[in-house]
Amino acid sequence: GEDVEQSLFLSVREGDSSVINCTYTDSSSTYLYWYKQEPGAGLQLLTYIFSNMDMKQDQRLTVLLNKKDKHLSLRIADTQTGDSAIYFCAESSNSGYALNFGKGTSLLVTP
Amino acid sequence: SQTIHQWPATLVQPVGSPLSLECTVEGTSNPNLYWYRQAAGRGLQLLFYSVGIGQISSEVPQNLSASRPQDRQFILSSKKLLLSDSGFYLCAWRKDNSGNTIYFGEGSWLTVV
């Protein structure tokens, strides 16, 4: 199947910005998503972007999409300790029934 | 508003025992339903999806099976569990195939001993 790749770990200091990167291979991807998973919990949708957009901002979250390079990023401004979690990138296409997920990036925010 | 629930939240089962995880969705009709498994360090693996009652598609061959006896009920089963079946199982739903978001349940921790 199509691949979604993310780095596995990221550590930042409280108050700094975090940038989590993701690459995908499916050129027919229509929607791209970011999910957050806190320890022992299900996945919570953070935000998503349609493939004809290149940026979406929602409070402290900024999503950037480079469709040519098939690169998606999630920037978290003023990162807090409560942002420590696993962040999953996912993509879907109009022909697909399910989302295709990356392996997740573990974000650790240190005081 | 729509809600999704799955249970049990945690269970410990011996090798060779059966399994039944249940998932229900409220507040919508004819959703797409999914079972994912999250094993340690391996991200999310799609196991089954269903676009309607009695319609099940399997993504990964294994000793698990799924059933959809009612429109908003999705069940994950096994007749004989293996150690490798341990993991975090997530049920999810989606309004349709047009790219709308998938929403997840709380997850079920399965430990096979």
As a whole number, the mean pLDDT across chain B is: 91
pLDDT digits (tens, 9 = 90+) for A11-68: 999 999 999 999 998 888 888 999 999 988 889 999 999 888 899 999 999 999 999 9
pLDDT digits (tens, 9 = 90+) for B60-90: 868 899 999 999 999 999 999 999 999 999 9
* pLDDT higher at B20 or B97: B20
pLDDT digits (tens, 9 = 90+) for A69-103: 999 999 999 999 999 999 999 998 766 677 889 99
The answer, yes or no, to whether residue B109 has pLDDT greater than 60, is yes
In this prediction, residues B30-54 reach a mean pLDDT of 88
Residues in chain A: 111
Burial B23-47 (b: 16+ CB within 10 A, else e): bbbeebeebbbbbbbbeeeebbebb
**Numbers of helices and strands, H then E, in chain B:** 0, 11
Q: What percent of chain B has pLDDT over 90?
A: 72
Contact residues, B window 7-66, toward A, CB-based 8 Å cutoff: 32, 34, 36, 41-44, 46, 49, 51, 57, 59
Which pLDDT score is estimated for B80?
Answer: 96
pLDDT digits (tens, 9 = 90+) for B11-23: 999 999 999 999 9
Find all residues with CB under 8 Å of A46, minimum gap 6, and list them.
A34, A35, A36, A61, A74, A87
Write the burial class of residue A46 (CB in 10 Å: 0-12 exposed, 13-18 middle, 19+ buried): middle
Which pLDDT score is estimated for A2?
Answer: 63
Give the pLDDT band (50/70/90) at residue B2.
confident
Angle at A32 between CA B38 and CA A86, to 5 degrees: 40
> What is the secondary structure of A35-78 as a DSSP string?
EEE-TTS-EEEEEEEETT-SEEEETTEEEEEETTTTEEEEEESS
Which pLDDT score is estimated for A3?
Answer: 85
Closest Cβ opposite residue B101 in set A33, A41, A102: A33
Contact residues, B window 83-112, toward A, CB-based 8 Å cutoff: 90, 92, 97-99, 101-107, 109
Instruction: Identify which of A105, A98, A107 has the alpha carbon closest to the alpha carbon of residue A17.
Output: A107
Beta bridge partners of B67: B75
Which pLDDT score is estimated for A92?
Answer: 84
The answer, yes or no, to whether residue A1 has pLDDT greater than 70, is no
Write the burial class of residue B56 (CB in 10 Å: 0-12 exposed, 13-18 middle, 19+ buried): middle
User: What are A's interface residues with B at a Cβ cutoff of 8 A?
Assistant: 30-31, 33, 35, 40-45, 48, 50, 88, 90, 92-94, 96-99, 101-104
Contact B43 A98 (CB under 8 A): no
Angle at B59 between CA A45 and CA A52, to 5 degrees: 45
Q: Which residue has 């999250």 as its token pair?
A: B38
- Secondary structure class of A81 (helix, strand, coil): helix
In whole angstroms, give the CA distance from residue B19 to residue A103. 26
Specify the amino acid at residue A11: S
In this prediction, residues B1-9 reach a mean pLDDT of 92
* Phi and psi torsions of A68, nearest 5°: -60, -45
In whole angstroms, give the CA distance from residue B113 to residue B98. 41
Beta bridge partners of A110: A13
